[in-house]
């Protein structure tokens, strides 16, 4: 069932218009307790899709000056500025303060897509990972592929392993990457359908960087569950997600080389799946240490709203009017 839970900002836009009251009531109770008055503002964004915004990530393998001109004419501007600790020149993303969505590109055989539409907050885990040319990288829960595509916009890994345990979602992942990445680069990517909890034992100390974009109770999509029975089942199963997330992180740590780093991300506001999971890892794994990512937060604070009171190794993006990005939790750890 965990596989069916991996939704989130990855599938936004495919929402139903009808809000699922069971989910909203559940969130209302939990998030009022955890976030107080802040939840009211977040709820107003999450329950009104017409307020949602979409970023346009340009594809460096299919560059178009005409596209950039069109974006600027429509009021789009670069989401990330040069003051970021890590921002490769090849990584270009445009956003607009106006709600709405730039037209999606249809797949054309033999032709790469020029851009990827996504929640801008989903790019922060990639920027926090700081992938450099030649590094061996694992995307542990990679489908449908947005973050994998973004990693390849940043650098050319030595080995790039994209894993997705669900076979159907793995096909989706490969199709996504094939739409954006030239064949010469795709041939260097290893695709697998392994259980992410086992990769650490199967490939110990094999990677310099690991991204764990974990299955989570994704707030945006769950609020628009069209099937009440499915929504009820999700809320019951939600309690088991932190255990899965912890096991995925333990596996990722095993897969990391000493000195390597990992980024953990979710698209939920839930403290149980975010800070609590990271705190449990830090308390139980003596070979990892937190990495300060507060400078990255400062550098993007004009475009993103973050929850206050977080520790320096973690961020939680909160959607608000005009900056309707997130929810997105990000934490960074290093293996010692």
In 7-105, alpha helices (H): 21-35, 37-46, 65-73
Contact between 276 and 256 under an 8 Å Cβ cutoff? The reply is no
Stated length of the chain: 336
- Smallest CA-to-CA distance from 137 within 226, 73, 208 is with 208
Catalytic annotation, residues: 267
Residues in the annotated binding site for S-adenosyl-L-methionine: 141-147, 164, 195, 213
> Could you tell me how far CA 243 lies from the centroid of its own chain?
19
Residue environment code for 202-230, b if the CB has 16+ CB neighbours within 10 A, otherwise e: ebeebbbbbbbbbbbbbbbbbbbbeeeee
How big is the CA angle at 140 (ends 310 and 63), to the nearest 5 degrees?
A: 90
| Number of CB atoms found within 10 A of residue 140's CB | 27
């Amino acid at each position: 069932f965990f596989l069916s839970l991996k939704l989130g900002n990855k599938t936004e836009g495919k929402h139903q218009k009808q809000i699922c009251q069971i989910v909203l009531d559940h969130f209302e109770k939990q998030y009022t307790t955890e976030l107080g008055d802040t939840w009211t503002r977040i709820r107003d964004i999450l329950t009104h899709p017409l307020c949602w915004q979409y970023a346009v990530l340009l594809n460096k393998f299919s560059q178009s000056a005409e596209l950039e001109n069109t974006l600027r004419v429509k009021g789009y501007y670069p989401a990330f500025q040069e003051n970021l600790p890590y921002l490769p020149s090849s990584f270009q993303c445009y956003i607009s303060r106006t709600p709405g969505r730039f037209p999606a590109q249809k797949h054309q055989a033999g032709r790469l897509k020029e851009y990827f539409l996504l929640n801008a907050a989903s790019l922060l885990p990639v920027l926090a990972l700081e992938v450099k040319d030649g590094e061996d990288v694992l995307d542990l829960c990679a489908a449908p592929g947005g973050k994998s595509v973004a990693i390849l916009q940043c650098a050319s890994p030595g080995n790039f392993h994209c894993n997705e345990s669900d076979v159907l979602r793995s096909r989706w992942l490969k199709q996504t990457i094939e739409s954006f990445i030239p064949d010469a680069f795709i041939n260097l990517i290893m695709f697998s359908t392994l259980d992410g909890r086992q990769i650490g034992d199967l490939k110990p100390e094999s990677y310099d960087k690991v991204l764990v974009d974990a299955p989570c109770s994704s707030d945006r999509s769950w609020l628009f569950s069209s099937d009440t029975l499915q929504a009820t089942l999700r809320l019951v199963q939600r309690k088991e997600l932190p255990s899965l997330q912890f096991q995925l992180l333990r596996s990722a740590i095993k897969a990391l080389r000493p000195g390597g780093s990992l980024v953990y991300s979710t698209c939920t506001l839930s403290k149980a799946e975010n800070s609590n999971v990271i705190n449990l890892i830090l308390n139980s794994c003596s070979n990892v240490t937190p990495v300060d990512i507060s400078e990255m937060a400062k550098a993007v604070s004009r475009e993103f709203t973050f929850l206050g009171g977080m520790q320096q190794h973690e961020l939680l993006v909160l959607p608000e009017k005009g900056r309707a990005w997130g929810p997105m939790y990000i934490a960074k750890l290093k293996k010692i």
